[in-house]
Each structure stands twice: as structure tokens, then as C-alpha cells.
Amino acid sequence: QSALTQPASVSGSPGQSITISCTGTSSDLGGYNYVSWYQQHPGKAPKLMIYDVNNRPSGVSNRFSGSKSGNTASLTISGLQPEDEADYYCSSFRSGHTLVFGGGTKLTVL
């Protein structure tokens, strides 16, 4: 089960916006809207940031937004803040009733 494809790292300065891409196939990202994004700080459990492509759970800042086009999903973080520095993972339901994660993207706030 190959993972979804994410860039290994992205960076941005405080106040800037960044976008993390996540590429899959028609069997996962392209075929379903069960796409989510997780934030993980070192030594901590992942935290759900976006679900169903572009929905934010209660309590998540509106600086986080998601989108999808074809087989690629994206997470955009606007107004970067130092506390946004973390690893980010996308995930998608995949046909056959499995779940696949992306390889993860390390966000550095310069």
C-alpha cells in the first residue's frame, strides 16, 4: 500500500502563507472526499486539523484551510505563526476499506 505523496519539507516566515500538497490516485484522493489533515508536534499525538477535504473541527484556527482538485489535495496555512511549526500528514480513504497516509511534511517557520 503506497503512501500518498507529500513534499518532505516546506518553510515560511511568520505572517506568510504556505501550501502543502498531497497527491494520490483515483482509488483514494481522487475518488473520495474522505480527505483529512493532521498536525503533529514532536512527541505528541496527531491532531485533526481538516476533515472531509475542507472542514475544520471546532477549535481549529480558520488560518487552516483545505481543498482538493482531482487526485491532489492541499492544506493552506495563512498568517504563519511559530506554533504552526510541526509535521503535517494528509490521509485518505482508499477503495477496499483501507486508509492511507501521506509521508508527512515538516513545516519550518523561519
Give the one residue of 14, 79, 99, 110 binding other proteins; rule: CB under 8 A: 99
9: contact with other proteins by CB under 8 A: no
Element (H, E) at 23: strand 18-23
The residue (of 3 and 13) whose beta carbon lies closer to other proteins is 3
Separation CA 62–CA 44 (nearest Å) = 22
57: contact with other proteins by CB under 8 A: yes
CA dihedral 45, 95, 73, 41 (to 10 degrees): 10
Tell me the Ramachandran region of residue 51: left when phi exceeds 0, alpha when psi lies from -120 to 50, beta otherwise. beta
10: contact with other proteins by CB under 8 A: no
63: contact with other proteins by CB under 8 A: no
Q: Which residues bind other proteins (CB under 8 A)?
A: 1, 3, 34, 36, 38, 40, 45-48, 51-52, 57, 87, 89, 91, 93, 97-104
